Structure 1
Amino acid sequence: MLDKILYNTVLCQTYSPCGKYLIAGNIYGQLAVFDLDRILNPVVELLTPDFNKPKHIHNLETGNQICSLVATDKFLVVGSVNVIYGWDWKAILGVKLSKPSWQIKISSKSSLEHIDVNSLCLSDDGEKLYAGCGDNNTYIFNLEDRRQLSVLSGHDDYIHSVHGKNDQIISCGEDGIVLLWDLRSTKFHNKIEPHKNSKVCRPDIGKWVGSAALRDDWIVCGGGPRLALWHIRSLDVATIFDLPDHGIHVSYFHDDCVIAGGASKHLYQLSYSGEIRVELPVSATTVYSAVLKTNPNVLAIAGSSPEIDLCTSFNYRDQILHFR
């Protein structure tokens, strides 16, 4: 048990719809539920030594790792191995985890094949679920009845990240390819191969792309290749971010900046022009998840550590949570 605590890795996080709870999933099939009200607004007289530990830790019966999380108004959606679960929030916030409200099985060619659901994303209207998986496919499901709507096939290796914006989806994976999809078709309409661009490639780290996100006319992506901002229409590099990292696993747009992290002891806030606005020290040696909510602002940063950094400002850590 001591070894499990020491080598805990948190792969994913999300917030409850009310914003009062942070949910984190790790490689041991555990869901930690943190009470943010108690942590960020403690009553000194009632403070206990374990105030920054989970209110509850739930264990998946399978013990399989929790690869991805996303929250809807009704459900916590959990991506694991060969299956996507949906639990209602009453079950997640309760003391004991009941059976899931529903589950979606990812079909495999063999009973021995393990398909990790590496990335989950909701459509803008919250009606569709996008799942980027270890069988090289992105699946689109109707959340109301969990019916599979389509399969996006175009990657040659497993998918690390999928993100949807407006009527477009972007996916990236171990094959080093970033694909752009239109929801009206199951064929990708554009692709970027960062490892083939001499300005961003880093052969010593690899060609894999760990994260990609869309916004208006821009794509931000990175992995083995350097984190870079690409123009959607021209597919040219507009900005290359000069970061001292050894691989990017997190990248997304927020307000007028880019948030990014990975195999580095920092999470970065960057301007579109490439300026490092904030270099925030983190507990994990590799960041796999950095989730942000607003009103009020809370940023939670997790990765290869049992510690999760909690920030209400991007300039410093307010608290360090303990997933143990």
Structure 2
Amino acid sequence: MRHYHPSLRVLVTGGAGFLGSHLCERLLEQGHDVLCVDNFFTGTRRNVEPLLDHPRFELMRHDVTFPLFVEVDRIFNLACPASPVHYQHDPVQTTKTSVHGAINMLGLAKRLRARIFQASTSEVYGNPSVHPQPEDYWGNVNPIGPRSCYDEGKRCAETLFFDYHRQHGLDIKVARIFNTYGPRMHPNDGRVVSNFIVQALQGQDITLHGDGSQTRSFCHVSDLLEGALRLMESGPDLPGPVNLGNPEEFTIRQLADLVVQMTGSRSRIRTLALPTDDPLQRRPDISLARKRLDWEPRVALREGLVETIAYFDRLLASGGARPSAPLP
């Protein structure tokens, strides 16, 4: 596996978010200069606070829906709210972030002849009729529903990436990221891992949507980033898309029971209506990543939850999280 040349300068959009802040750390550890760009809609300075004094780290407040003029060698485009609570808050802006953001970052990459990575999502598969989901499955997506701003925004971003690749010979890498969890998740993002942990720690009812039989596959942030970095440094014959996620599948009820058990909480489980277009199954086929990147997740769910619970416990103790609200 090739590694970056130490003198390279790497731009991370959405760099103050959950995934982005961990990625900035990893890149600095590898000896790179990192320019972190974020508009702080869902990201927070707290996530990158320990990096602010690092001599090779720079933080810039900027919205990717506006052009950015910087000089870099690599671009990781992670900017976009990624949870239903946040991306449905301002759906028009969510679509703009995915589409205009992609156009602006691709334009920058084209000018600089820089390699560019797109953080796409398993949501491009919609509510899948194929299980598990391989990269050649085109998906089953509602183009006019409440989740469409994110699902179709990310699908359009993939279209743009591959058209820039074909039309301009741009060096692209597209990863489809499945449910990822770990420290620095937003406490009020409405995702099941953060929701369940915060509710359990606060002794609130665990809000389970539907009967809890819907499935998700949870990938620890350290595993996810290892796959992303390997994809970024893979050969030019692998533009993607490549699924990155954990193929071990859990029902939402199993997750709820596990969180209650691990936190020692007395929370009861309360069922709510299933949100519109909520996928009933989600599990990646990672055959391509195994074959081409020699990558697969190593952190078991129970192991990863230990540090994630500890993170939220500290956050709540410091007053850094308000009680989480159920999905709209």
TM-score by length of 2: 0.29
Task: Work out which structure has the larger RCO, using CA pairs closer than 8 Å and 6 or more positions apart in sequence.
Answer: 2
Higher strand fraction: Structure 1 or Structure 2? 1
Higher helix fraction: Structure 1 or Structure 2? 2
